[in-house]
Structure 1
Amino acid sequence: MSENYFPLPADLPVPIDDGAATHLTDAALPDLVLSSTDGSAINLGRLSGLWVIYVYPMTGRPGIHLPDGWDGIPGARGCTPQSCSFRDHFSELGVLGAGVFGLSSQTTEYQLEARNRLHLPFELLSDTALRLESVLGLPTFTVAAMRLFKRLTLIAENGRIRKVFYPVFPPDQNAEEVLLWLREHAAD
């Protein structure tokens, strides 16, 4: 399924690496419980095995406008195409032994609508209080009086972050980058 409800404009500004995620490699995932779209509570610090956790600002909805200036914020646009890319590569990630979570500060109810509409075969996690900003130091930005996570992707194994993709651009190719990294580092 390669339905893409929000194609990316060709002239999006490219985000720069501001160093806001360099401290994350080799860090432990925190003992932090987040709500999941399946109704469960996921403790990041207790995840065992291999996990891809892609963190994004916010998904859009058909018929609802994104905040003014959204396309001009480097790295903001592309949450839905990124999610669709992980959906489309989900089985390949599974063959490599990786589970997938998407994560944003949007409510679980909001994310459940996106998960269902986009036919995502994995759960989305909600951190409405942006606890990962304070506990793990995830980078954020502010737009329209909302503080949102900057887009990044973590590969974690048995509770420790092995790889950080930051900045992620273009977001619709992030899943392919993750697959390439996993294939190259499978025996590490």
Structure 2
Amino acid sequence: MNQKNLLDVDWSKIPAPIDDGAATHLVGLKIPPVSLVATDDTSVTLSALRGRSVVFAYPRTGEPGKIALVDDWDMIPGARGCTPQTCSFRDLFAELKAVGAAHVFGLSTQSNAYQAEMASRLHLPFPVLSDEKLALTRALGLPTMEVAGLTLIKRLALIIDGGRITQVFYPVFPPDRNASDVLEWLKENRI
């Protein structure tokens, strides 16, 4: 399938993911000391960050005009919507910071080079982390799916306070509302 417009999605035609329980163990977990490369050419160790961090994870962003990973990508529950999710965090970035998010990161298993292109194209005010080697994904037991021989993180968002997960948003649907849901939670749960 040719992805003509990554932002214009009729969510009523896309299958919603179900809560398969794959994220229930995450609340309360301490983040392991795993360093990930970021699109701003830094190395980020989430466990070492002070304050509140918001990390939203997604399977795989696409590129306009490029062929999708698999023909039925849009019909895989939870697959479609990485760019709308990312853009929603971009658009609400200042508000997220204003209510206590010291750090905001995107996260996927795509390479840093791929993510850097996307971050530049979408004018992201925050870095995107690459877990290409699945170090953090495996250490935390993040929910994943296998597509075209690749292990991809299922869409979710984490609130991390002082190196410990305090809130998980999973499953996420529709993806373009994830940032506003996180923002509302942050407003109600200030630190």
| Interval containing the TM-score (normalised by the shorter chain) | over 0.9
Residues 39-82 of structure 1 deviation map (CA, whole Å, 9 limit, x = unaligned)? 11001211111110001001000111112211111111000000
Paired letter, 1:162: T
Where 1:53 maps in the other structure, the secondary structure is: strand
Structure 1 residues 143-171: Cα deviation after superposition (integer angstroms, max 9, x where no partner)? 11111110110001111111000000110
Please list every run of 5 or more consecutive structure 2 residues that lacks an aligned counterpart in the other structure. none
Which residue of the partner structure matches residue 106 of structure 1? 110
- DSSP-derived class of the 1:14 partner: coil
- Within the alignment, does 1:142 sit opposite 2:146 as a pair? yes
In the alignment, the residues of structure 2 paired with residue 159 and residue 8 of structure 1 have an alpha-carbon distance, to the nearest angstrom, of 35
**Aligned runs of 1:19-168 on 2, under 5 Å?**
19-66=21-68, 67-98=70-101, 99-168=103-172
Distance 2:6 2:148 in 1: 23
Q: CA deviation at 1:133?
A: 2.8
Write the letter of the residue equivalent to 2:7: F
Deviation track 1:57-108 (CA, whole Å, cap 9, x = no partner) reads: 0100011111221111111100000000000000000101202100000011
Segments ≥4 residues shifted beyond 6 Å:
none
Aligned residues: 184
Partner of 2:7: 6
Structure 1: stretches of 5+ with no match in the other structure: none
The share of aligned pairs that are identical, in percent, is: 55
Encode CA deviations 1:86-141: one digit per residue, 9 max, x unaligned: 00000000101202100000011100110010011000000001122321100111
TM-score under structure 2 length normalisation = 0.93
